[in-house]
Amino acid sequence: MNKLKIAIQKSGRLNEDSIGILKSCGIYIDNGKDQLKASASNFPIDVLYLRNSDIPQYLEDGVVDVAIVGENLLIEKEKQVEIVEHLGFSKCKLSLAVPKDVDYPGPEYLQGKKIATSYPNTLKQYLKKNKLEAEIHVISGSVEIAPNIGLADVICDLVSSGSTLFKNGLKEVEEILHSDACLVKGPGLTEESEELLAKLVFRMQAVLRAKRSKYVLMNVPNDKIQEVSNLLPVLKSPTVMPLAIEGWSSLHTVIDEKAFWEVIDKLKGSGAEGILIVPIEKMVL
Ligand code: AMP
């Protein structure tokens, strides 16, 4: 039987969430992550645990069909692989940072400076786009200490919360790119592998949609149903069910969680009461 070969990070930031999303898709991986290769009992998939930075090459060479990697890595490795789905975890930015006491005037500050980074290709592209020249020092880790030890004037590194920059007396001055974990596919998948990938993507989309959405229930006076409904940025029109108390209804709907927090005060102002927000397990449209 044909199996889809998927690469995920062996250890590091993406590992746990990558296994987590497969699990949420109902795919249970048999062996522990000490193994290099594992398979699932209930989906035709082989999971290969690989070093993060090697994954784009394995994809391009067709050793694996698909992978979960950070978009930043694909850009840095300049690989011809296709992003099938953004998965929304491991969000980060590739940013430029300078010592916090520098009075940064704008990108022209970078001209002729020494910049330490583990992402030289992405940095080169940024400098070229901005018609700047700088001396790039490639280091593989702990980039944020480079200014303190006199190795560089500027750093170009991944930032998520910004606390590492802060602890090292640096401040972010430019955002070069935004990244999150992506499901990507290599070239030349067979028709059977494409079919399996489509099934996997269908499940992932159902999981991601559910994560972004909430099931909302609220009690609304009957004469306010239209007003409350107009406030809700809903998928379809809400379900309205009569309550045992005369003149009141229960209104049910599914909305994007972020949008919900924006309208909550208006909903209450329009007479909605007893608002319940319930997580959704899977959502198929
Ligand atoms: P790791 O192998 O654990 O260093 O993971 C590296 C990947 O995690 C990067 O390629 C990014 O896609 C992602 N990531 C998310 N936030 C950060 C961060 N603050 N620093 C480094 N990598 C990050």
- CATH number, residue 206: 3.40.190.10
Of all protein residues, whose CA lies closest to atom 21 belonging to ligand 1?
Answer: 158
Q: What is the pLDDT of residues 120-140, one digit of tens each?
A: 999 999 999 999 999 999 999
Asked if 79 and 195 sit in the same domain, the reply is yes
Per-residue pLDDT tens for 66-104?
999 999 999 999 988 999 999 999 999 999 999 999 999
pLDDT, tens digit, 9 for 90 and up, residues 164-213: 999 999 999 999 999 999 999 999 999 999 999 999 999 999 999 999 99
Structural contact between residues 5 and 66, judged by C-beta atoms closer than 8 angstroms? yes
Could you tell me which residues come within 8 angstroms of residue 16 by beta carbon, excluding any fewer than 6 positions away? Answer: none
Same structural domain, 205 and 218 = no
Nearest CA to ligand 1 atom 10: 70
Q: Is 41 left (phi over 0), alpha (psi -120 to 50) or beta?
A: alpha
Out of 192, 210, 228, pick the residue that ends a domain.
Answer: 210
Residues near ligand 1 with C-beta < 6 Å? 12-14, 52, 70, 72-73, 90, 92, 158-160, 179
Q: Quick one: 57 and 118 in the same domain?
A: no
Measured from the Cα of 69, ligand 1's closest atom is 12
Residue 265 lies in a domain: yes
- How many whole angstroms separate alpha carbon 109 and alpha carbon 198? 47
Q: Which atom of ligand 1 is nearest to the CA of 90?
A: 15
In terms of domains, do 96 and 154 share one? Answer: yes
Both 14 and 69 in one domain: the answer is yes
If asked whether residues 83 and 186 sit together in one domain, one would say yes
If asked whether residues 42 and 25 sit together in one domain, one would say yes
Please give the order of strands across the beta sheet that includes 4-9. 37-39, 45-50, 4-9, 66-70, 181-185, 82-86
Q: How many Å from the N-terminal Cα to the C-terminal Cα in the chain?
A: 30
Within this chain, do residues 116 and 219 fall inside the same structural domain, yes or no?
A: no
Residues 71, 204: one domain? yes
Query: pLDDT per residue over 234-268, tens digit each?
Result: 657 899 999 999 999 999 999 888 888 888 889 99
Are residue 65 and residue 199 in the same domain, yes or no? Answer: yes
Strands of 135-138's sheet in order across: 135-138, 114-117, 154-159, 92-99, 170-179
CA angle (213 as vertex; 7, 250 as ends), nearest 5: 155
59 and 196 together in one domain: yes
Name, in order, each residue with C-beta under 8 angstroms of 282's C-beta and a sequence gap of 6 or more: 206, 207, 210
pLDDT of residue 134: 98
User: In sequence order, what DSSP letters do the residues of 96-111 get, joined into one string?
Assistant: EEEETT----SGGGGT
Residue 284 lies in a domain: no
Instruction: Give the pLDDT score at 31.
Output: 66
> From the CA of 134, how far away is ligand 1's center (Å)?
25
Q: Is residue 157 part of a domain?
A: yes
Say which residues have a Cβ less than 8 Å from residue 157's Cβ, sequence separation at least 6.
94, 95, 97, 117, 118, 119, 143, 144
> What range does the domain containing 136 cover?
92-178
Domain count, the chain: 3
Q: Say how many Å lie between the CA of residue 62 and the centre of ligand 1.
A: 24
| Domain match, 86 and 186 both | yes
Q: Contact 92/150 with Cβ under 8 angstroms?
A: no
**Cα(131) to centroid of ligand 1, in Å?**
28
Nearest CA to ligand 1 atom 12: 70
What is the rounded average pLDDT for all residues in the chain? 94
% pLDDT > 70, the chain: 98
Tokens describing residue 50: 């690989």
pLDDT in tens, 21-64: 999 999 998 766 578 999 998 999 999 999 999 999 999 999 99
pLDDT in tens, 141-162: 999 999 999 999 999 999 999 9
